[in-house]
Chain A
């Protein structure tokens, strides 16, 4: 059974810092991995999608990498801003119907 783990569970940094969020998964037989952002009480906003054949994806200040063989992904956020404060969820797609299995998330707080 696929299990997804995210470290750290919470992170507080001053504005302007570069930071890395970690995600690991136990079964490397995945189609893709998706990073989401969730604001309190809100839905999920897709940040980046990495296919199993890809090593990384970039969008603005965000860069996500994938090492499928070792079951790891990282989300790198450059020059963090207070508006980046949210919970970041990692989800793997290994099911037959595109269903996702989520990690418990990393709650990020960026202090002005």
Chain B
């Protein structure tokens, strides 16, 4: 099973709402990632969790709050978003080699299409 599952597939939220995106994988991967992709642009890294600890935050605004409750689950909590935050949010996972190198294949979910109104 090489599947990364993201829910919901589509989300429309107002600027005062609080919502969460969910990502799940059962491949035993110990790194999970959030990427943001605007229309006609490539994905850009937001956060990396390595062994359930936040290891990279690419200077993302605090209205985006990631959480990694366990090694299979990754959440992205959203609060007070702006219309320009509308995008496709992609989750990915990967796993280090026995030597501890992060050079293995990354697997992506189908994304959550977020629209902020």
* Beta-carbon contact of A31 and B101 below 8 Å: yes
Q: Is A99 among interface residues, defined by CB-CB distance under 8 A?
A: yes
Is the beta-carbon distance between B108 and A97 smaller than 8 angstroms?
A: no
- Shortest Cβ distance from residue B30 to the other chain A in the assembled complex, whole angstroms: 10
> Are A41's CB and B33's CB within 8 A?
no
Task: Output the least CB separation between B48 and chain A (Å).
Answer: 5
Q: How many residue pairs at the A-B interface have CB separations less than 8 Å?
A: 71
The answer to whether residues A97 and B102 also contact, given A41-B113, A44-B108 and a CB cut-off of 8 A, is yes
* A: contact size bracket: 20 to 34
Which candidate, A59-67, A70-78, A88-96, is the interface stretch facing chain B? Answer: A88-96
**CB of B14 closer than 8 Å to a CB of A:** no
Interface residues on B, range: 20 to 34
> Which one, A32, A41, A44, contacts B103 given CB within 8 A?
A32
Residues of A within 8 A of B102 (CB): 31, 93, 95-98
Nearest Cβ on chain B to A42's Cβ, whole angstroms: 6
By a CB distance below 8 angstroms, the chain B residues around A104 are 41-42
- Which residues, 55 to 109 on B, are CB-close (under 8 Å) to A? 55-56, 88, 90, 92, 94, 96, 101-109
B50 CB within 8 Å of chain A: yes
* A100 CA / B41 CA spacing, docked (Å): 14
Q: Give the complex CA separation of A102 and B40 in angstroms.
A: 13
A59 CB to closest chain B CB (Å) equals 12
Say yes or no: B55 contacts A97, CB within 8 Å. yes
* B114 surroundings in chain A (CB, below 8 A): none
A2 to B92, CA, bound (A): 20
CA distance A103 to B45 in the complex (A): 13
**Top 8 nearest A-B pairs by Cβ distance?**
A98-B102, A31-B103, A102-B42, A43-B110, A44-B108, A43-B111, A98-B94, A97-B48
